[in-house]
Amino acid sequence: MSACVAIGIDVGSTTCKLVAVDAAGEILERRVEPTHPRIEQQAERLIAELRAKVGGAPPVGATGYGRKRVPQATRSLTEITCHAKGAFRLARRGGVLVDMGGQDTKVVRIGDAGEVRDFSMNDKCAAGTGRFLEVILGRLQVPMIEVGALAARAERPIAVSSTCTVFAESEVISLVAQGEPVEGIVKGLHHSLATRVASLAGALPDGAEIFMSGGVALNAAMVAALEAALRRKVRVLSEPQLVGALGAALSLS
Amino acid sequence: MITRRVQYEVAGRLAGPALFRLEAWQQRVKKMRKGPRKSAIFGPPLECVSKLKELMGTHYLQGRYADGAVPVAWVTSGFPVEILRPLGFHAVYPENHAALCSVQRVVPELSDAVEKEGYARDLCSYARTDIGSVVTGKTPVGRLPKPDVLLCCTNICQTVLYWYRALAAHFNVPLVLMDTPFVYGEAKPHHRQYVRDQLEELVDVAERVGGKRVDPEELEEVVRVARDGTRLWGECLAASRAKPAPWTGIDGFFHIAPIVTLRGTRQCNAYYRMLLDELNDRVAKGIGGIVNERHRLLWDNLPIWFDVRGLSTLMAERGFNFVVTTYTNAWAEAGSRIDPADPIGSAVVAYTDIILNQDLNKRLDTMRRLSRDYSVDGAVLHSDRSCKPYSIGQIDLKQRLAKELDMRVLVLEADHGDPRAYAKEQGEGRLTAFMEGFS
Ligand code: SF4
């Protein structure tokens, strides 16, 4: 195994992600855990575990909303910058990154040198985020893992017009009560979310590739809905949940 | 009436200045004892600040005794106040007062009071703050004098009309409206005539309330003073074309108070002459508003009054300074067009053709020009939840600026007055990500 040169930690609102990378930026080790309220202790423990595994004491770069609570970090940068760095390393080119995490969704335009050209984010609201899906799917008792297959089976999407998490939840309950098929509702839900993300993305530059990162990228139904809304192919980055942590590790090189 | 008048004059001429000078003196003594405060982020504080406090503090102190002593008008910020000065009016600026309330962080409390009365939280926070202060009687300035007349000009927004109507109902005093049609491209002659007719009527009403006629010579003099004051303010802002800028855009937000509320008075001009001397001196000595100016930014829209300090510190720590703002600049442009030789005719143009009353192309032109003149390399457009007319179109403006001037532009969602409409953590995250993009 090549030597680890840096550790990246991404303390998100839902999960805490860590990677250890070698000099070429390859991921050697990874950890993903639900974020604890006591971030300092959790980060300390996970960093110690990772260091024990890879040997030595590689420096730590931090990102995510809890980045300021990682005292071991020698550098801390926002998720925007780190996601761009991580995505550029994985895609090896510029493009438009859609990151759908637990608390927010961001669209980052990455230049040809890997720089952030512009970004937009959903504001102050869970609508359009992973949390929105989690709440509603929880209501429908659909496990995340089955979502893709379920939505693919739907004959047609049932329109869910509300993008507010609270309102959409009651809307979905009444759709179920009206006997609408769950597959159709699930598909409709993803459509409604994808439309929101598409409006966040605005006019996409011609020919720009679209990448996707964040935990929600593992959900095939969301990727399909996004492709439909953007009318573009969406490339899911490998290990999409770890892109931010990877960027944080790369920020040290 | 006579005692009231004596109180008013004493407060304005003796008590106010004495009180604030004493305070400034105490501060100086404290500073001498402790040694000068040295910041690693900001340049030395402006010496003028104590004078600004004296000027504005005295204005509000004197205001407490104004009703019953002199005619009192409550006016919108874009109102041609010049015509009131020869008649001896005391002019109250509810917007300035609301900004003060926001800095003092009392907006939620005042707003709660009006929300209980049925006003929506979507209403501009200036309006909520002001009406809240009126219905509760609470204000950080002690007391605001009751108006004899309300004077409202719609050149900034339509909200003011409904807000002033509510005030008129509360105080049971006349409301006089000056309606300025929105300008697409150039204003048409019949628009100008329409505004002119209203302005002439307004002089009539002001004369009736003030109990005397406007002396044309006095008006000419006031207009000259107002124009010169506006130009002086413009020169103060222009000092920031120097690198490093001798002060911060955030300082500018505070130093704007005299040109808004005391325009057309000698004290106002005397103050800006002093400020200009100090700024020029700093430029000559290479003293910056922030210690390490690495990037120069433009700010669009009103400030986030309740968090200006926090925000400028966040930016200054990383070497970013807002060297120019469209908001402070607006006050350097409109008034410079008024002409003592034609007070009414020139006021028609000056008060119609202001940034908030003109189409987006005009705004874009202004922003382009300012960006070049002040050599900025980025811009933050504050999308102000309260001020819709100022915030509309910012996404387009952002795209055009970014493309045409090849600069980084961020749209920041916040509010100028109400901290409840601003997600500080998220806002600071956006700004930090924006700044990271520069390196
Ligand atoms: S809406 Fe805007 S222009 Fe109108 S009073 Fe409020 S801040 Fe001023």
- d(Cα B48, Cα B99) in Å, to the nearest integer? 20
Candidates A116, A120, A124; nearest CB to B437: A116
Locate the chain A residue with the closest alpha carbon to B421.
A124
Q: Is the Cβ of A77 closer than 8 Å to some Cβ of chain B?
A: yes
For residue A58, give how far its alpha carbon lies from the nearest alpha carbon of chain B (Å). Answer: 23
- d(Cα B316, Cα B296) in Å, to the nearest integer? 10
A122: tokens are 């959903």
For residue A149, give how far its alpha carbon lies from the nearest alpha carbon of chain B (Å). Answer: 35
| % of chain A with per-residue pLDDT over 70 | 96
Q: Which amino acid is at A79?
A: E
The pLDDT tens digits along chain B (439 residues) read 688 999 999 999 999 999 999 999 988 888 888 876 678 899 999 999 999 999 999 999 999 999 999 999 999 999 999 999 999 999 999 999 999 999 999 999 999 999 999 999 999 999 999 999 999 999 999 999 999 999 999 999 999 999 999 999 999 999 999 999 999 999 999 999 999 999 999 999 999 999 999 999 999 999 999 999 999 999 999 999 999 999 999 899 999 999 999 999 999 999 999 999 999 999 999 999 999 999 999 999 999 999 999 999 999 999 999 999 999 999 998 878 899 999 999 999 999 999 999 999 999 999 999 999 999 999 999 999 999 999 999 999 999 999 999 999 999 999 999 999 998 988 999 999 999 999 7
- What mean pLDDT comes out for the span A188-195? 87
Q: Work out the widest C-alpha separation in chain A, in whole angstroms.
A: 60
- What mean pLDDT comes out for the span A139-167? 81
**Could you identify the atom of ligand 1 that is nearest to the CA of residue B416?**
7
For residue A228, give how far its alpha carbon lies from the nearest alpha carbon of chain B (Å). Answer: 25
- What mean pLDDT comes out for the span A96-117? 90
Cβ–Cβ under 8 Å, residues A64 and A102? no
B153: tokens are 């000009």
Give the dihedral of Cα atoms B153, B156, B162, B167; nearest 10 deg: -60
The per-residue pLDDT for A128 is 65
Tell the residue nearest (CA) to atom 2 of ligand 1: B387
Residue found by looking up tokens 């996409």 in the block: A204
Instruction: Report the alpha-carbon angle B311-B317-B318, nearest 5.
Output: 105
- d(Cα B270, Cα B285) in Å, to the nearest integer? 23
- Ligand 1 center to residue B348 CA distance, Å? 21
Task: Give whole-number Cα distances, B175 to B76, B133, B213, in Å.
Answer: 12, 19, 20
3-state class (DSSP) for residue B268: helix
- d(Cα B232, Cα B331) in Å, to the nearest integer? 11
Candidates B402, B430, B432; nearest CB to A121: B430
pLDDT at A126 over 90: no
State the pTM of this model.
Answer: 0.91
Instruction: Write the Ramachandran bin of B319: left for phi over 0, alpha for psi from -120 to 50, otherwise beta.
Output: left
Task: Give whole-number Cα distances, A65 to A76, B5, B342, in Å.
Answer: 11, 58, 59
Locate the chain A residue with the closest alpha carbon to B424.
A124
**Which positions 377-416 of B are in contact with A (Cβ < 8 Å)?**
395, 402, 408-409, 411, 413
- d(Cα B47, Cα B241) in Å, to the nearest integer? 20
Which of B76, B77, B95 to probe ligand 1 with, by most ligand atoms within 8 A of CB? Answer: B95
Tell the residue nearest (CA) to atom 4 of ligand 1: B157
3-state class (DSSP) for residue A28: strand
B55: tokens are 């000027």
Residues whose beta carbon lies within 6 Å of some atom of ligand 1: B 95, 124, 126, 156-157, 159-160, 302, 356, 386-387, 389-390
Q: Which amino acid is at B70?
A: V
Cβ–Cβ under 8 Å, residues A244 and A64? yes
Radius of gyration of chain A (CA): 19
**Which positions 57-76 of A are in contact with B (Cβ < 8 Å)?**
65
The per-residue pLDDT for A124 is 57
Structure letter (DSSP) for residue A15: E
3-state class (DSSP) for residue A155: coil
The per-residue pLDDT for B140 is 95
**C-beta atoms of B436 and A77 within 8 A:** yes
Residue found by looking up tokens 């006579």 in the block: B2
Q: B321 forms bridges with which residues in the sheet?
A: B296
Task: Give whole-number Cα distances, B68 to B8, B149, B207, B213, in Å.
Answer: 9, 13, 17, 19
Structure letter (DSSP) for residue B13: I
End-to-end Cα separation, chain A, in angstroms:
19
Cβ–Cβ under 8 Å, residues B414 and B385? yes
Sheet holding B149-153, edge to edge: B90-92, B72-75, B149-153, B175-178
Q: Which amino acid is at B229?
A: G
Which of B129, B156, B391, B392 to probe ligand 1 with, by most ligand atoms within 8 A of CB? Answer: B156
The two beta strands, B408-414 and B90-92, are: unpaired
- d(Cα B338, Cα B249) in Å, to the nearest integer? 25
pLDDT band at A146 (very low <50, low <70, confident <90, very high): confident
- Ligand 1 center to residue B337 CA distance, Å? 23
pLDDT at A174 over 90: no
Q: Is the Cβ of B22 closer than 8 Å to some Cβ of chain A?
A: no
Task: Give whole-number Cα distances, B399 to A83, A172, B318, B370, B395, in Å.
Answer: 23, 37, 25, 17, 6
Q: B216: Cβ–Cβ under 8 A, 6 or more apart, which residues?
A: none
The two beta strands, B149-153 and B175-178, are: parallel
Q: Is the Cβ of A13 closer than 8 Å to some Cβ of chain B?
A: no
**Could you identify the atom of ligand 1 that is nearest to the CA of residue B156?**
3
Q: Which amino acid is at B393?
A: G
- All domains of chain A, ordered by start, with CATH? 4-84+242-250 (3.30.420.40)
- d(Cα A143, Cα A16) in Å, to the nearest integer? 21
- Annotate B161-205 with DSSP letters as a single string: HHHHHHHHHHHT--EEEE--PPBSSS--HHHHHHHHHHHHHHHHH
The residue of A65, A82, A123, A251 whose CB has the most chain B CBs within 10 angstroms, and thus the best one to mutate to test that interface, is A123
The per-residue pLDDT for B200 is 96
Alpha carbon B130 to its chain's center: 15
**C-beta atoms of B436 and A124 within 8 A:** no
- d(Cα B330, Cα B387) in Å, to the nearest integer? 15
**C-beta atoms of B433 and A65 within 8 A:** no
**C-beta atoms of A78 and B432 within 8 A:** yes
- d(Cα B78, Cα B76) in Å, to the nearest integer? 6
- d(Cα A244, Cα A12) in Å, to the nearest integer? 9
Nearest to A73 by CA among A81, A61, A56: A61
Tell the residue nearest (CA) to atom 1 of ligand 1: B387
The per-residue pLDDT for A125 is 65
pLDDT at A129 over 60: yes
Lowest average pLDDT, out of A41-45, A75-79, A202-206, goes to A202-206
Q: Is the Cβ of A129 closer than 8 Å to some Cβ of chain B?
A: no
Within 8 A of B384 by CB-CB distance, chain A residues are: none
The residue of B431, B432, B438 whose CB has the most chain A CBs within 10 angstroms, and thus the best one to mutate to test that interface, is B432
- d(Cα B405, Cα B45) in Å, to the nearest integer? 33
Nearest to B76 by CA among B162, B136, B135: B162
Structure letter (DSSP) for residue B358: B
Residue found by looking up tokens 């350097």 in the block: B332
Classify residue A55 as exposed, middle or buried by CB count within 10 Å of its CB (0-12, 13-18, 19+).
exposed
Q: Which amino acid is at A7?
A: I
Locate the chain A residue with the closest alpha carbon to B431.
A78
Task: Give whole-number Cα distances, A210 to A100, A152, B321, in Å.
Answer: 13, 22, 34
Model-level ipTM above the cut of 0.95: no
Residue found by looking up tokens 């004369």 in the block: B207
Q: Is the Cβ of A115 closer than 8 Å to some Cβ of chain B?
A: yes
| % of chain A with per-residue pLDDT over 90 | 57
Candidates A78, A117, A118; nearest CB to B429: A78
Q: A34 forms bridges with which residues in the sheet?
A: A15
